[in-house]
Chains A and B, each alone.
Chain A
């Protein structure tokens, strides 16, 4: 019934004409075919891309928002959201930035120049970063590596984009991915040519405009045969955003002998202790190990957002391919996280590893949800899963929902799970040895997360540690 109402609202004629929409800097709230046409026209997209969007939109109208996750939130009204906004007016100096954000930057030890960049201060104020950006763009170009925004790729590399967009995540894959396919604003596009090892960590951080991609981000990474790339998404600096709903899609394609390492630090605004104002983060991330001997590795540190709904997955199609998922999810305040992974073993001798660390504090709620599927064809395949939960305080909770399907006799699946609690007795012990409450908690949490932190690229790991400590500040006593 609810869906019908939604359908009615959505299909009703949009009040403002198409031209009015296109001419405005920020679209008025609401979603319709016209709005999608307007987004596409703003970006000067080729017709096939507009058709792709409209097709997705049509499918989306027939879909229902999934409710199976272990998450509570108010119904989202999709007509209350504005689906396009021009980049906000850049502030002129750090003086115009919210002091609480600045103090967080300081605690995280982010240099001043980078603070300016993160705060979105007009780019000409940060010459250093710009020159960094251009020098490394030159180097990448020499190797034939494409690293640009999706919008740019639509103009300059349409054949690659057309071939691989929705290659892993069909536009009607799920409600949120479908919405993203219809209205995605921007995101990163990466192509690594055959036998090229990308010489540096690629990061959204350097692609300055990517910091402002808004709520419907779309990322596509293609690693051609024998290539390697490590991609870092996000950073530990707090991302305040006024929009509530975020629905991103990330697709990874690893061809024969290729490797993709994808690391994320997510620190969107978590809302207050009553869950007011936080980001609702619904993300679809999936990679395919298409060729033999390929490998995809997801590492994520999720500390932000009021709500996290995210299952970075691997389709292990090539023989001997490898999928990995390393995750730290921290839910404090009134945050809720329902996150995990899916490993689809299709090729022979495929291998997957899952290490999930969930931390709940205050009123936080954390769920691991995972699927391991060994197809009939996936002979001699192996999975190892380890899901550990850590509870801090008495009002938080942790859940584990593992799901395993094994359809052949030669494969093995292993699952280990633990739940532990930081007890008053442990804290007192450490206090009695002269270690303060905050240090004690951070020691226990860092120890708990060790196996995942060591999977992160060096600098990212340092950021992640600082972030974990910061996110747990004041969660006891």
Chain B
């Protein structure tokens, strides 16, 4: 699904990623952990072609194609979805209209028929009721005046509607109460059908209990310094990052 080799990335003249190697197979769940500033978000942003991230060296292959050639929109429509740590507010764009446009852009890209308003509405309602979400946010402007929790749940809704192939989740659980974390985890799990892959940044053990990773990577200073399985995350929870480094 995703193959990263010797990736070097800088932001504002500062090298943040210093040689990342990462291989994600279809159906795998990977978790990135590490102290603040170790490069976790930069890695996720680089995969989705954020304008801040300048790739100096290395390669990223997605479905065996050179991903670095594609712009953010193309990557999105090829099935890469990134949830934002702080989703930006966009006044003037109705949330429902936004969702419909995003879905139909993707369908157009895949040469599928666009959904009309009625069938789209049906789809959204089925998702909100399945995951017990309040659909009042749909009538408001995109993220405008949303609470932290509402923004994160809105990210989940986008995820559920767009059904990406590769999920990049940057702290989708932060700022959520226990019940909301459960909702979000249930939503994510519903997408994990053994074909989709997930790369997730989280600081919460609770999230890892709900979505059990196959691989846990620890980043330090722009490099993956250790890779293990779920037990590594558990060990981290007890000892912290200090004793992990070698």
How far is A432 from B97 in the complex, measured between Cα atoms in Å? Answer: 16
Across-interface contacts of A82 in B (CB, < 8 A): none
**Are B88 and A434 neighbours in the complex by a CB distance under 8 Å?**
no
Q: Type the 1/0 row for B88-104, where 1 means its CB is closer than 8 Å to any CB of A.
A: 10111110011001100
B62 nearest CB across to chain A (Å): 15
How far is A423 from B87 in the complex, measured between Cα atoms in Å? Answer: 13
Interface size on B, residues (CB 8 A): 28
How far is A219 from B94 in the complex, measured between Cα atoms in Å? Answer: 39
Q: Type the 1/0 row for A33-76, where 1 means its CB is closer than 8 Å to any CB of B.
A: 00000000000000000000000000000000000000000000
B109: Cβ under 8 A from any A Cβ: yes
**Are A436 and B105 neighbours in the complex by a CB distance under 8 Å?**
yes
Given contacts A429-B84, A435-B101, A435-B102, contact A448 B73 (CB under 8 A): no
How far is A435 from B158 in the complex, measured between Cα atoms in Å? Answer: 13
How far is A436 from B94 in the complex, measured between Cα atoms in Å? Answer: 17
How far is A75 from B89 in the complex, measured between Cα atoms in Å? Answer: 44
Interface size on A, residues (CB 8 A): 23
**Are A428 and B72 neighbours in the complex by a CB distance under 8 Å?**
yes
A195: Cβ under 8 A from any B Cβ: no
Given contacts A433-B76, A433-B102, A443-B101, contact A428 B90 (CB under 8 A): no
A430: Cβ under 8 A from any B Cβ: yes
A439: Cβ under 8 A from any B Cβ: yes
**Are A423 and B88 neighbours in the complex by a CB distance under 8 Å?**
yes
Q: Type the 1/0 row for A437-454, where 1 means its CB is closer than 8 Å to any CB of B.
A: 101000111111010000
**Are B141 and A447 neighbours in the complex by a CB distance under 8 Å?**
yes
**Are B93 and A434 neighbours in the complex by a CB distance under 8 Å?**
no
Across-interface contacts of A435 in B (CB, < 8 A): 73, 98, 101-102, 105
Across-interface contacts of B109 in A (CB, < 8 A): 434
Across-interface contacts of B92 in A (CB, < 8 A): 443-448, 450
Across-interface contacts of A420 in B (CB, < 8 A): 91
How far is A432 from B142 in the complex, measured between Cα atoms in Å? Answer: 14
Across-interface contacts of B105 in A (CB, < 8 A): 434-436, 439
How far is A450 from B141 in the complex, measured between Cα atoms in Å? Answer: 13
Looking at the complex, which one of B51, B141, B162 makes contact with A433 (CB distance below 8 Å)?
B162
How far is A57 from B94 in the complex, measured between Cα atoms in Å? Answer: 53
How far is A136 from B231 in the complex, measured between Cα atoms in Å? Answer: 82
Within 8 A of B (CB), among A410-441: 420, 423-426, 428-437, 439
Closest to A431 in B: B72
How far is A359 from B51 in the complex, measured between Cα atoms in Å? Answer: 24
A82 nearest CB across to chain B (Å): 45
Across-interface contacts of A424 in B (CB, < 8 A): 51
A-B contact list, 30 entries, CB within 8 Å: A420-B91, A423-B88, A425-B88, A426-B88, A428-B50, A428-B51, A430-B90, A430-B98, A431-B71, A431-B72, A431-B73, A431-B76, A432-B48, A432-B72, A432-B76, A434-B109, A434-B162, A435-B105, A437-B73, A439-B101, A439-B105, A443-B98, A444-B93, A446-B92, A447-B91, A447-B92, A447-B93, A447-B141, A448-B92, A450-B92
Supplied contacts A435-B101, A447-B92, 9 more A-B pairs, CB within 8 Å: A429-B88, A430-B102, A433-B158, A434-B109, A435-B98, A443-B97, A444-B92, A447-B91, A450-B92
